[in-house]
A and B are shown apart, each in its own frame.
Chain A
Amino acid sequence: MPEVDAATTGVGDAMSGWLKGLLQTLQEFTEQSARAFRNIVARPFYWGDTFLQMNLIGVGSLPIVVLTGFFTGAVMALQLSATLSTYGQIGRTGQLVSLSLVRELGPVLTSLMVAGRNAAGMASELGSMVVTEQIDAMRALGTDPSKKLVTPRLLATVSMMFFLTVISDFCGMLGGFVYSTVVIGLDPTQYWYSAIQILGMDDVVQGLIKPLVFGLIVALVGCYYGMNARGGTQGVGRATTQSVVAASVLIIVSDFVVSRLLMGFGG
């Protein structure tokens, strides 16, 4: 009997311990994120650090975003045209490629790529600074690390994610175009015409709000795991992995939430 009791309490304790940990993480995350936001209007503003990050995130991610965008568009054209042809609707390939890219695949795939590169980069860079006491040193020297390190990364990621997504959307349409015209032999003008003409205002709005939300997630999650890294080099490795996992899951989940909300508004 006492063993059963002990086992039940053990599980109960573990559960409540886990829940407490989760709540505490959420609270810390919210506080630290709020601080990073407040610093946007606080002085000094670190223009230099912000541009440096923009360059790192924007230019640095460009090759993978162009490549994944292009081949995603191409593979969509390949798959969709096969299905559409059975209904005799192969001419609509451009429409479907462009719709799914602009609404979903462009923002989500771009953000996942940037999460893999930059959330990991931020977590490991800031994490190393934490475990080597550089963050403490910065505070000791009178500089707020949230202001100098987190806020520039936040602004840089959000703005660059927007442009990267637009580029990714375009490259995807180009990939679909190349496949549709070269392999399927569709009429080039018709591809572009239908691809552009099908896009409504709501599609474009949805497609451009999402990267802003995902950019926030990548930067805040990456910085949070970095700034809270503990336990030496191992801790930095752990923080890096966790940041990519958390950012990716949050991107997918929030994609659903944002889509649902925006479609709700659209009627």
Chain B
Amino acid sequence: MAGDMAPQTQAAPAATAAEEPVLVFDRVSLSFGPQRVLDEISFQLRRGDTKILLGEAGAGKSVLLKLALGLLRPSSGRVLVLGQEVGTLSEDALFEMRRKIGIAFQESALFDSLSVRDNVGFRMLEEGSESDDAIEATVRKVLSFVELEAAIEKMPVELSGGMQHRVSIARALATQPEIMLYDSPTGGLDPVTATTIVELIMKLRDQNKVTSLLVTHRLQDGFLLATHVWEDGHLAPAPPEATHTSFLLLRDRKIFFDGSAHDLQHHPDPYVRSFLD
């Protein structure tokens, strides 16, 4: 199934289900009219992997996430989510697929006419297949995961930026997605609030084995994720293998760097160095 599209050689003798890539970009290009935004982007994520996506403003980070969700279709190349090619799915099939892949948008994108409860329960309320009690229970569960159960009755405008980001993450988590996409979840937040969100992402990675693609402007968030794990309710330093976290740097529409935190930090290229400083 997914094995035949993995180009690189497998180190492990038997590729178990856990090692199959869950998200694959295969020579993906995207243009808006004459403007090319992404050029031949290829990378893949295995189950439980976290990829930190870096790049200047306008580099195409957000559109890359939208490609993974099928909100945009590639001009050429293939995007595979859990073995399904996104670009060829009908809009209805895409709606179904998106149960498995959650996104927290750059500006939270909460529905401002709905309460926190209805935002988080949106998908379940729309599907109408579960009882009100079951929905309420799930909503409370994911809200308590992001430590915002107390805000359930509030409207989005009543929340601070950091709280909105957390509700937006909770909304994405309500259907227990296997893949999470985060678009600058710590953008515009103070360092303390930013860290609580990074911890949340780490918790999902280490407790729930959620595969994630994370766009961030704050390099320190990426390095924190690459060097720590969530253990017994707090951060603990960990060797790089344990974090399953790597970096991807976009530059001039292409992937400029794809590798570990260590390689990124010791990269000789002046552009990378300027990016790190």
Residues in A lying within 8 Å of B, measured CB to CB? 44, 132-134, 136-144, 148
A74 to chain B, nearest CB (A): 39
B-chain residues with CB within 8 Å of residue A144 when the two chains form the complex: 91, 95
At the interface, yes or no: B277 with Cβ under 8 Å from chain A?
A: no
A139 to B126, CA, bound (A): 12
**Are A132 and B109 neighbours in the complex by a CB distance under 8 Å?**
yes
Bits for B79-109, please: 1 = Cβ < 8 Å to A, else 0.
0000000000001000110110011011101
The number of residue pairs between A and B whose CB atoms lie closer than 8 Å in the complex comes to: 54
A139 to B99, CA, bound (A): 11
B143 to chain A, nearest CB (A): 16
**Are A141 and B105 neighbours in the complex by a CB distance under 8 Å?**
no
A44 to B95, CA, bound (A): 13
Partner of B109, one of A133, A143, A148: A133
**Are B71 and A140 neighbours in the complex by a CB distance under 8 Å?**
yes
A17 to chain B, nearest CB (A): 12
CB closest residue in chain B, given A142 = B95
A148 to B109, CA, bound (A): 17
Main secondary structure of the interface of B (DSSP, over half): helix
Partner of A137, one of B99, B111, B127, B128: B111
A152 to chain B, nearest CB (A): 14
A136 to B111, CA, bound (A): 11
At the interface, yes or no: B228 with Cβ under 8 Å from chain A?
A: no
At the interface, yes or no: B223 with Cβ under 8 Å from chain A?
A: no
**Are A44 and B128 neighbours in the complex by a CB distance under 8 Å?**
yes
CB closest residue in chain A, given B111 = A134
A-chain residues with CB within 8 Å of residue B102 when the two chains form the complex: 140
At the interface, yes or no: B112 with Cβ under 8 Å from chain A?
A: yes
CB closest residue in chain A, given B96 = A142
At the interface, yes or no: B73 with Cβ under 8 Å from chain A?
A: no
Residues in B lying within 8 Å of A, measured CB to CB? 66, 69, 71, 91, 95-96, 98-99, 102-103, 105-107, 109-112, 122-123, 126-128, 171-172
**Are B107 and A132 neighbours in the complex by a CB distance under 8 Å?**
yes
CB closest residue in chain B, given A143 = B126
**Are A141 and B71 neighbours in the complex by a CB distance under 8 Å?**
no
A-chain residues with CB within 8 Å of residue B96 when the two chains form the complex: 142
Q: A132-B112, A140-B102 are in contact. List 17 more A-B contacts (CB 8 A).
A: A44-B126, A132-B109, A133-B105, A133-B107, A134-B112, A136-B66, A137-B103, A137-B105, A138-B111, A140-B71, A141-B122, A141-B171, A142-B95, A142-B127, A143-B123, A144-B91, A148-B126
Chain A to chain B contacts (Cβ below 8 Å), 21 pairs? A44-B128, A133-B106, A134-B109, A134-B110, A136-B109, A137-B103, A137-B105, A137-B110, A137-B111, A139-B69, A140-B98, A140-B103, A140-B172, A141-B98, A141-B123, A141-B126, A142-B95, A142-B96, A142-B98, A143-B95, A143-B123
CB closest residue in chain A, given B101 = A140
Partner of A142, one of B99, B107, B109, B110: B99
A-chain residues with CB within 8 Å of residue B106 when the two chains form the complex: 133
CB closest residue in chain B, given A148 = B126
A138 to B66, CA, bound (A): 13
With A142-B123, A143-B126 as contacts: A136 and B71 at CB distance below 8 Å: yes
A-chain residues with CB within 8 Å of residue B172 when the two chains form the complex: 140
B72 to chain A, nearest CB (A): 9
CB closest residue in chain A, given B33 = A24
A142 to B171, CA, bound (A): 12
**Are A136 and B126 neighbours in the complex by a CB distance under 8 Å?**
no
B-chain residues with CB within 8 Å of residue A136 when the two chains form the complex: 66, 71, 105, 109
A-chain residues with CB within 8 Å of residue B122 when the two chains form the complex: 141, 143
A237 to B35, CA, bound (A): 26
B-chain residues with CB within 8 Å of residue A44 when the two chains form the complex: 126, 128
With A142-B96, A142-B98, A142-B99 as contacts: A137 and B109 at CB distance below 8 Å: yes
A204 to chain B, nearest CB (A): 39
**Are A139 and B71 neighbours in the complex by a CB distance under 8 Å?**
yes
B269 to chain A, nearest CB (A): 33
With A44-B128, A134-B112 as contacts: A140 and B69 at CB distance below 8 Å: yes
A-chain residues with CB within 8 Å of residue B127 when the two chains form the complex: 142
B277 to chain A, nearest CB (A): 30
A233 to B107, CA, bound (A): 14
For the complex of A and B, the 4 pairs showing the least CB-CB separation, nearest first, are A133-B109, A137-B109, A142-B95, A133-B105
A91 to B145, CA, bound (A): 78
A-chain residues with CB within 8 Å of residue B69 when the two chains form the complex: 139-140
B-chain residues with CB within 8 Å of residue A148 when the two chains form the complex: 126
A66 to chain B, nearest CB (A): 28
A-chain residues with CB within 8 Å of residue B98 when the two chains form the complex: 139-142
With most chain B CB atoms within 10 A of its CB, the pick from A44, A134, A140 is: A140
A262 to chain B, nearest CB (A): 38
A137 to B66, CA, bound (A): 10
CB closest residue in chain B, given A44 = B128
A52 to chain B, nearest CB (A): 10
